[in-house]
Amino acid sequence: MSLMLNNGLSGLLAAQRALQVTSNNVTNAGVDGYVRQRVLLAENPTQPGGAGLSIGTGVKINSIERVYDKFLAQELHSSETSEGRARSFNALATRLDGLLGNPDLSISADIQRFFDQAQTLTENATSQVNRQQLLQQGESLVTRFKQLDSQLNSFNNEVDARLGEAVGTINGIAQSLATVNDRIAASAGSVPNDLLTEQGRLLSQLANEIDFTVVEKGNGTADVLIGSGQPLVLGVTARQLTLTQNEFNGSIQELAIADSSGAQIISDLVSGGTVAGLLSFRDQALNATQRDLGLLALGLTEVFNNQHGLGLDLNGDLGTDFFDATGPAVSASNGNTGTATAAATIVDPAALTGRNYVLQDAGGAWLLFDEATGATIPTTGTGTAVDPIVAEGLEIVVTGASALGDRYLVSSVSGAPAAMSVLLNDPSKIAAASPVSVIRSLQNLSDAESSPAVATDINDANLLQPVDIVFDDATTYRIFDGGTDLTGPLAYTSGADINFNGWTLQISGATQTGDRFSITSTGANSGDNGNALALTDISTLKVFGNGQRSLGDLSANIVSQVGSAAARSSEELAVQSSLRQQIQLEVESVSGVNLDEEAVNMLRYQEAYMAASRIISVANDLFNTLLNVVSR
């Protein structure tokens, strides 16, 4: 009877514990991250019962375990990390697309209005109204460039602010994980399930912010590594993430982790979570847009100024710069140990790419890298004033003593939009006329015609010198200054360029002996619109990307790139959210609380409890009966 009583008591206790665990599951069913628990029972060792028999001694409670699959949990953390990155990138990319992708807000519309006004000027090149309106459209265009640059800078500031918030959240989670580790370590091998659940919940929160690797210890504690293996949580110690200044630009924040030697930058080592999304948006979408906008502003300034300088204004003077914009900027790394400085200038606008470059002292030579990709850029020159470094439309000169490993950031176009301005304030200074004009002699016997003369070199001292092109016969001509032969006989080919004194023209057709074409200075107050026509054509000429892209292409590229980034990020977010939801369902199917299942368990354990109670009652009755028999 004692065995029967022990069996009943052990069954009663087991059923009671099972009911407690089941009720705990039910009450925590709505708690995020809760992992359902179950009682693991085992048969007590049997004991000899005589005649070779073994008699059972009841049931024992082995443990109360969490129904948990660590591989599914790791996969869920990975999916949460990917979704967090996609979500933060998409939120900002969609807003950027709204700013630049709207046709009414894009820079393309302002550029088109400016060149439309230049076209209007060609219809009446002496009109003060047309000239004043061109200056006003130029001011409007400059204002729009500045507005867009300011709005893009606001995005940069927002990224920094959001990074600061994310870093604060991560540091808080890391400290909480270290505290949980401390409590788990203090549990002396009997780890409370609630601490493990809290640990899992914190890791899930961390996965939304940054990617990491978990190293589980035998005692239930967990170390957390980020970047390329830098410990964020090591046992009961939590290290702090910080934001530190970029080595070239103090206004740009980089992600770093504090260690014994200071702050180690890990921006390039983070690939998931909100932090990675913010950094990727800044590096891939925002910086690229700022560079494209800078290339557009600086390219427009350079090309328009070059053509404007080839014209003549109403005062009879050669054109001056119409726009102004800051050229390339060079910044030294805050880690440089040498005293050298570097400067860059534009020598070929058509070759500009808008990229930023890192110039590095490699010991007796200079290496140039693409800042975004790290790819080596081919260069010529040694960096001296007489032999500058030349690459992709830029010349770079280094002066002073540099040290091995010193680095310089060459920002080719980024400062142009903010610094852009209209230099002209007098409408008469607009150089709408070609500097030289061609007059076909009325006595010419042939029907040969000349194109307008186009200035190609305003530095030629004889650009405005009056000369005559006189044909000896149908195959040769000479250029005269009054009665002075300046060239001797030259071969004539119909339609071929005739270059002289910094101008170019073409004569087409069969000529005859004595045919004459006079080239003279256009002069002041001319209604000539030759240079105005050339200025208008700039919007469609393939003068960028080594003759592959126009101003229209550059402005359209900004819209398309931003739109593509927003579309891709939306698709990525949809995919990652779907994957995370699917994995979450799999996790919940294993670890989640099913109330129907728990209700069945509740009834089963209740019946077991009642049956065990009945065993105890029967054992008690039998014992009392035995006592009564013995007492007689």
**pLDDT value of position 470:** 96
314 pLDDT exceeds 90?
yes
**pLDDT value of position 51:** 64
Tokens at 517, concatenated:
């074409």
**pLDDT value of position 578:** 94
Average pLDDT (115-140) is 95
Q: Where is 600: in which H helix or E strand?
A: helix 595-631
Average pLDDT (443-453) is 93
With 0-12 CB in 10 A as exposed, 13-18 as middle and 19+ as buried, what is 576? buried
Q: Where is 296: in which H helix or E strand?
A: helix 287-308
Average pLDDT (269-296) is 92
Bridge-partner residues for 487, per DSSP? none
**pLDDT value of position 552:** 84
Per-residue confidence band for 350, with pLDDT thresholds at 50, 70 and 90:
confident
Cα 549 → chain centroid: 23
Picking from 57-71, 197-211, 233-247, 508-522, which range would have the lowest pLDDT averaged per residue?
A: 57-71
Q: Reduced to 3 states, what is the DSSP secondary structure of residue 418?
A: helix
Tokens at 399, concatenated:
């002066």
**pLDDT value of position 45:** 83
619 pLDDT exceeds 80?
no
Q: Which amino acid is at 400?
A: G
Higher pLDDT, 481 or 623: 481
Per-residue confidence band for 632, with pLDDT thresholds at 50, 70 and 90:
low
**pLDDT value of position 554:** 84
| Distance from C-alpha of 311 to C-alpha of 122, rounded to nearest angstrom | 13
1 pLDDT exceeds 60?
no
With 0-12 CB in 10 A as exposed, 13-18 as middle and 19+ as buried, what is 546? middle
Q: Residues of 409-420 as b/e, b for ≥16 C-beta within 10 angstroms?
A: bbbbbbbbbbbb
Rg (CA), the chain: 41
Picking from 12-21, 45-54, 379-388, which range would have the lowest pLDDT averaged per residue?
A: 45-54
**pLDDT value of position 309:** 92
| Distance from C-alpha of 561 to C-alpha of 101, rounded to nearest angstrom | 9
Per-residue confidence band for 590, with pLDDT thresholds at 50, 70 and 90:
confident
**pLDDT value of position 2:** 64
Q: Where is 599: in which H helix or E strand?
A: helix 595-631
Per-residue confidence band for 50, with pLDDT thresholds at 50, 70 and 90:
low
Tokens at 28, concatenated:
């925590």
Per-residue confidence band for 187, with pLDDT thresholds at 50, 70 and 90:
confident
Q: Is the dihedral of CA 88, 89, 92, 98 positive or negative?
A: negative
190 pLDDT exceeds 80?
no
Per-residue confidence band for 412, with pLDDT thresholds at 50, 70 and 90:
confident
Bridge-partner residues for 359, per DSSP? 368, 408
**pLDDT value of position 556:** 84
| Distance from C-alpha of 167 to C-alpha of 175, rounded to nearest angstrom | 12
**pLDDT value of position 130:** 95
Average pLDDT (434-438) is 93
120 pLDDT exceeds 80?
yes
Angle of helix 70-100 relative to helix 551-591, nearest 10 degrees? 150
Average pLDDT (22-49) is 84
pTM of the model: 0.84
Average pLDDT (380-409) is 92
567 pLDDT exceeds 70?
yes
262 pLDDT exceeds 60?
yes
104 pLDDT exceeds 90?
no
Cβ atoms of 297 and 416 within 8 Å: the answer is yes
Average pLDDT (306-313) is 92
Per-residue confidence band for 312, with pLDDT thresholds at 50, 70 and 90:
very high
| Distance from C-alpha of 5 to C-alpha of 616, rounded to nearest angstrom | 5
Average pLDDT (481-505) is 93
pLDDT digits (tens, 9 = 90+) for 529-549: 999 999 999 988 887 777 788
Residue 108: name the closest of 551, 420, 536 by CA.
Answer: 551
| Distance from C-alpha of 162 to C-alpha of 165, rounded to nearest angstrom | 5
Residue 425: name the closest of 224, 135, 102, 200 by CA.
Answer: 135
Q: Express as a percent the part of the chain with pLDDT over 90.
A: 54
**pLDDT value of position 527:** 87
| Distance from C-alpha of 422 to C-alpha of 325, rounded to nearest angstrom | 9
Cβ atoms within 10 Å of 431's Cβ, excluding its own? 26
**Mean of per-residue pLDDT scores for the chain:** 89
Q: Reduced to 3 states, what is the DSSP secondary structure of residue 469?
A: strand
With 0-12 CB in 10 A as exposed, 13-18 as middle and 19+ as buried, what is 35? buried
**pLDDT value of position 49:** 65
Average pLDDT (448-459) is 91
Q: What is the DSSP letter of 283?
A: I
Q: Residues of 313-323 as b/e, b for ≥16 C-beta within 10 angstroms?
A: bbeeebbebbb
Bridge-partner residues for 331, per DSSP? 409
Q: Which residues contact 295 (CB under 8 A, 6 or more apart)?
A: 352, 353, 354, 412, 413, 416, 544, 554
| Distance from C-alpha of 267 to C-alpha of 241, rounded to nearest angstrom | 11
| Distance from C-alpha of 413 to C-alpha of 100, rounded to nearest angstrom | 19
Cα–Cα distances in Å, from 389 out to 43, 330, 377, 449, 505? 84, 13, 11, 46, 35
Cβ atoms of 272 and 85 within 8 Å: the answer is yes
Distance separating the N- and C-terminal Cα atoms of the chain: 20
Per-residue confidence band for 89, with pLDDT thresholds at 50, 70 and 90:
very high
Residue 430: name the closest of 323, 296, 539, 300 by CA.
Answer: 323
Higher pLDDT, 623 or 504: 504
